[in-house]
């Protein structure tokens, strides 16, 4: 219980800074090395309520389900639990991929879900019917262009944390940080065509 002196406080501050840098360098930075700065997204795990809300907006749907920037895999695993198959995640960070694969193995889903080390900007999404996107606001405009170009009309996109700024959601669930938005691509395309004609 003795109070820390000036040197003790300095040592704690330095140790905290080193720990934060080590976490960034080992766990987070590897997934960013080949990604332009404006498209980088830091890892931030989804809360249980965010996961539940996202999957609620996909309830009753079928077809291939993907999580773009799947992190530790929790959304993909829950999608599989709820019958959305095939379920897969795209993630660049090798440490998060290992964690996601371990979680799948621990849940008994090894070989049933897939986690792939692929750049989401380079994958073809034309066979995806359900897309989960928990990414930063800076990524949404270029991603909207990619999704419009590739997804089929019957696809649904569920965004967490931040909505797509130029799309009108077909439904939404939750409040604040736990809010999620669903976008049906047929409606999004119709709105885009109407705006272009207007």
CATH of the domain at 60: 3.40.50.150
Inter-residue contact 55 to 82 (CB < 8 Å): yes
- Domains held by the chain: number: 2
Question: Under DSSP, is residue 130 helix (H, G, I), strand (E, B) or coil?
Answer: strand
The answer to whether 91 and 100 have CB atoms below 8 angstroms apart is: yes
Angle at 119 between CA 70 and CA 138, to 5 degrees: 75
Instruction: Give the up-direction half-sphere exposure of residue 174: CA atoms within 13 A in the CB hemisphere.
Output: 24
Q: What angle do CA 162, 167, 170 make, to 5 degrees?
A: 90
> What pTM, to 2 d.p., does this model score?
0.78
Question: Are 132 and 148 members of one domain?
Answer: yes
15 falls within a domain: yes
Mean pLDDT of the region 18-30: 56
Q: What is the pLDDT of residue 22?
A: 59
Instruction: State residue 23's pLDDT score.
Output: 59
Residues of the chain above pLDDT 70, percent: 82
Position 174 in a domain:
yes
Stated length of the chain: 198
Average pLDDT for 135-145 = 93
Does residue 137 share a domain with residue 49? yes
Question: Coil, helix or strand for 54?
Answer: helix
Residues 23 and 87 in one domain: no
- Domain-embedded: residue 1: no
Residue 52: inside a domain = yes
Report the pLDDT value the prediction gives residue 47, as an integer from 0 to 100: 92
pLDDT value of position 48 = 94
Same domain? For 133 and 172 the reply is yes
* 152 and 105 assigned to the same domain: yes
Do 19 and 68 share a domain, yes or no? no
Going through 29-94 in order, the beta strands assigned E by DSSP cover 65-68, 87-90
69 and 11 both lie in a single domain: no
Q: Does 43 share its domain with 22? A: no
* 73 and 165 assigned to the same domain: yes
Is position 102 within any domain? yes
* Predicted confidence (pLDDT) per residue in 74-112, tens digit: 999 999 999 999 999 999 999 999 999 999 999 999 999
Do 103 and 124 belong to one domain? yes
The reply to whether 21 and 61 lie within a common domain is no
Q: Which domain holds residue 136?
A: 39-196
Q: In terms of domains, do 101 and 55 share one?
A: yes
Q: Is residue 139 part of a domain?
A: yes
């Amino acid at each position: 219980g003795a109070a820390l002196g000036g040197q003790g406080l300095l040592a704690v501050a330095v140790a905290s800074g080193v720990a934060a840098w080590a976490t960034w360098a080992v766990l987070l930075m590897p997934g960013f090395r080949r990604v332009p700065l404006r498209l980088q997204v830091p890892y931030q795990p989804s809360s249980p309520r965010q996961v539940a809300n996202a999957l609620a907006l996909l309830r009753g749907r079928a077809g291939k389900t993907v999580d773009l920037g799947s992190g530790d895999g929790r959304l993909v695993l829950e999608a599989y639990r709820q019958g959305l198959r095939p379920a897969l995640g795209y993630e660049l960070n090798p440490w998060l991929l290992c964690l996601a694969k371990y979680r799948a193995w621990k849940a008994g889903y090894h070989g049933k879900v897939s986690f792939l080390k692929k750049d989401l900007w380079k994958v073809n999404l034309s066979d995806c019917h359900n897309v989960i996107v928990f990414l930063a606001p800076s990524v949404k405009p270029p991603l909207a262009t990619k999704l419009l170009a590739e997804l089929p009309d019957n696809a649904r996109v569920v965004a967490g944390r931040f909505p797509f700024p130029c799309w009108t959601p077909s439904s939404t669930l939750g409040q604040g940080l736990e809010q999620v938005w669903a976008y049906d691509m047929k409606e999004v395309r119709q709105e885009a065509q109407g705006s272009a004609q207007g």
